[in-house]
Amino acid sequence: MTRSLRGGQAGYFFVAGYVVLLVAFGIVPTAYAFYLAFTNDRGQFTGLNQFVKVIGDYRFAPAFAHVAVYLVLWLVLLLILTVGIAVVLRGRMRPGLSATLRFLYYVPGALAGVASVLVWLFMLDPSVSPASGLLRALGFDTFSQVIAPENLPLVFVLIAFWTGAGGWIVVMYGALNNIPDEILEAARIDGAGPWKSALFVQIPMISRWIAYMAILAFAGGTQLFVEPQMLQTASLGRLDPAWSPNQLAYVLAFRYGDFNGAAAVSLILLVLGLLCAGLLVRRSGLFKVDA
């Protein structure tokens, strides 16, 4: 009795630091955004009018369309490639080589977002890129051709995958490690080859980790900001300043002084993220505690 109580108190102590930061930088700003989104700059209650206003804005639909294309490309690529690579690294490779590759995949993730965008600014400029031969072979002679509007979702997927996928490969590898060897052995005895064990044993058993990755990747993807913003500056304005919804919120707040409209855009993003997370949590049983 005493022991379990003491354990509980220590638990509170350990989460306290996180809770304080969560309240200060997560919950309070969200509450403030709620207040702003339902009022105007004179503090009067506006109901849903802010939402009606921003949804009717001429930049709203294109910004969400841009990010939708980006998200589809990014999520499909991320789910298939990270899980696929992790399965190969886990089962079909010598341990030493596998560890080296995991480390290499992870390295770009150690760069901060802005730094990785800078790397890609050079990589994608045919006049300075180490891969300029490849870019030219694909028909790109100048940087402005590479960042043509129709290529942008792909450019951002490249950057996101390069920085983000390595970390997830390591996580998926760890998840695969949790599967007891006896289960894989039993599958093998029952006649399952590598393909069948991956599809019917390994992947279903790590589906919660995959759902967790999908939730975070979706939320991160809808909030795309640094990459287009940096590219906008570096290309001297060749990108729409409100390319992504988060940039639209930024433009509304800081160029038009419309903090209320900006808050409405962020709440829409929050709701989208929550809906996706709720759906995935329900479908995958992510929060179900194992008996």
Partner 1 sequence: MKQRLILTATLAALAALAGCASADSTAAPTGPASFTPAPQNDAATVTVWTDSTRLASVQAYQKSHPDKKLNIVTYDGSADGSTYLQTKVQLFDRTGSGWPDVVFASPTDVTWASAPTGPNAQAFAAPLNQGLVPQPTLDNFAKGSLSPCEFNGQVYCLRNDIAQVVAWYNAKLFKDFGYAVPKTWQEYQALGAKVAKEHPGYLLGAVGDTNSHESYFWSSQCPAFSLTGPTTLRTDLQDPNCTRMATLLDSMIANGSVSKEAFFGQNFAQARGSKVLMAIGPSWHGQYLFNAAFKTPAGQIGAATPLAWDGDPTVATGNVGGAVWMVSSHSANLKTSTDLVSWLTTSDENQAGAPTYPAYAPAAKAWLANPKNSQYFASDVSPAFQAAASAVWPGWSNTRFSDATAWSSVVLPAVTAGKTLTATLPAWQTAIENEAKAAGYTIAAR
CA distance between the termini of the chain: 22
Nearer of residues 100 and 145 to partner 1, judged by Cβ: 145
Smallest distance, partner 1 to C-beta of residue 46, A: 5
Tell which one of 84, 241, 270, 281 touches partner 1 (CB under 8 A).
241
Task: Please state the separation of Cα 39 from the chain's center in Å.
Answer: 31
Task: Please state the separation of Cα 195 from the chain's center in Å.
Answer: 28
149 binds partner 1 per the rule CB under 8 A: yes
36 binds partner 1 per the rule CB under 8 A: no
Which region among 18-26, 147-155, 192-200, 279-287 touches partner 1 (by CB under 8 A)? 147-155
Give CA–CA dist 237/147, Å, rounded.
11
133 binds partner 1 per the rule CB under 8 A: no
244 binds partner 1 per the rule CB under 8 A: no
Give CA–CA dist 27/138, Å, rounded.
47
- With vertex at residue 263, the alpha carbon angle to CA 252 and CA 237, rounded to the nearest 5 degrees, is 30
207 binds partner 1 per the rule CB under 8 A: no
Residue with tokens 């996928």: 165
Smallest distance, partner 1 to C-beta of residue 223, A: 19
Q: Which two tokens stand for residue 32?
A: 């403030």
Smallest distance, partner 1 to C-beta of residue 255, A: 5
Find the helix or strand (DSSP H, E) in which 9 lies.
helix 2-22
Tell which one of 49, 207, 223, 284 touches partner 1 (CB under 8 A).
49
259 binds partner 1 per the rule CB under 8 A: yes
Q: How long a stretch of residues is the chain?
A: 291
Smallest distance, partner 1 to C-beta of residue 253, A: 7
42 binds partner 1 per the rule CB under 8 A: yes
Using only the alpha carbons of the chain, give its radius of gyration.
23
Nearer of residues 17 and 139 to partner 1, judged by Cβ: 139
Q: Which two tokens stand for residue 83?
A: 């899980």
Q: Which two tokens stand for residue 224?
A: 């795309």
* List of residues contacting partner 1 (CB under 8 A): 39-42, 44-50, 52-53, 57-59, 125, 127-128, 142-145, 147-149, 233, 236-241, 253-261
